[in-house]
Amino acid sequence: MSLEQALTADIVTAMKAKDQTKLTALRMLKTALTNKNIEKGRALDEAEELQVVSTLVKQRRDSIDQFTKGGRKDLADKEQAEIAILNSY
């Protein structure tokens, strides 16, 4: 099963479970993969898919730094939860 197929199945599961944090993270990942597919003009190989995931994780880590410096622990915790979800892929 490809990463996009697994994402679609996990999005359905998250919707049924009403897990908003997981749903948001998975939709963000699926959108990033779709945008990269369009940019490349072809289907991504596994290495390119993993690069998209790692880019999103890096963005979340940068956000955590900024939120922590700004005293927004709640937003930093949300970003940390998204990193945990993204790391599972």
Dump pLDDT digits (tens) for 7-52: 999 999 999 999 999 999 999 999 999 999 999 998 888 899 999 9
Give the Å distances, CA to CA, from 74 to 9, 19, 51, 67, 79.
29, 17, 27, 9, 9
Query: What is the reported pLDDT for 1?
Result: 60
Instruction: Report how far residue 25's alpha carbon sits from residue 7's, in angstroms, rounded to the nearest whole number.
Output: 10
All residues at 6 or more sequence positions from 68 whose CB lies less than 8 Å from its CB, including other chains:
76
pLDDT band at 67 (very low <50, low <70, confident <90, very high): very high
Taking residues 65-70, what's their average pLDDT? 94
Instruction: Report how far residue 56's alpha carbon sits from residue 35's, in angstroms, rounded to the nearest whole number.
Output: 13
- Count of beta carbons in the 10 Å neighbourhood of residue 5: 9
